[in-house]
Amino acid sequence: MNTQNKNHPSIIFTGHFAIDNIIRFKRLNKPSLGGSVSYCTLALSNYTQDAKIGIISHIGKLNFNNSLLDKIKNKKIDLRGIKYSQVKNTKFVLDYFDHSRTLTLKSKSPNLDFKDIPLEYLNNPPDIFVLVPLCNEISYEYVAQILKNFSDAYIGIDLQGFIRKIDEDGKVTYIYENEIISNMKKIIDLIGDRLILKGSEEEMNLIAGECDDFEKVMIHCNNYDNNGIYIMTLGEKGSMLTKKGEKILNIPAFEPRRVVDETGAGDVYFSIFLYEYIHSDKSWESIEKAAYLASAAASFLVENKGPAGLENKKAVLKRLKKKIYIN
CA neighbor of 232 nearest in space, from 204, 254, 209, 206: 204
Residues 46-70 pLDDT 10s: 999 999 999 999 999 999 999 999 9
CA neighbor of 202 nearest in space, from 217, 224, 183, 221: 217
Q: What element of type H or E holds 22?
A: strand 18-24
CA neighbor of 180 nearest in space, from 227, 133, 147, 226: 133
Task: For domain 10-230, give the fold.
Answer: UDP-N-acetylmuramoyl-L-alanine:D-glutamate ligase (3.40.1190)
Domain chopping of the chain, boundaries: 10-230
Residues 124-167 pLDDT 10s: 999 999 999 999 999 999 999 999 999 999 999 999 999 999 99
Q: What element of type H or E holds 273?
A: helix 265-279
Dist. CA 30–CA 256, nearest whole Å: 25
Three-state secondary-structure class, residue 163: helix
pLDDT confidence bin for 8, thresholds 50/70/90 = confident
Report the 3 state secondary structure along 63-117. Answer: CCCHHHHHHHHCCCEEEEEEEEECCECCEEEEEEECCEEEEEEEECCCCCCHHHC
Model pTM score: 0.94
Residues 246-282 pLDDT 10s: 999 999 999 999 988 888 999 999 999 999 999 999 9
CB of 153 closer than 8 Å to CB of 117: no
Q: Tell me, what's the pLDDT at 99?
A: 66
Whole-number Cα distances in Å, 41 to 37, 230, 246, 272: 6, 21, 30, 10
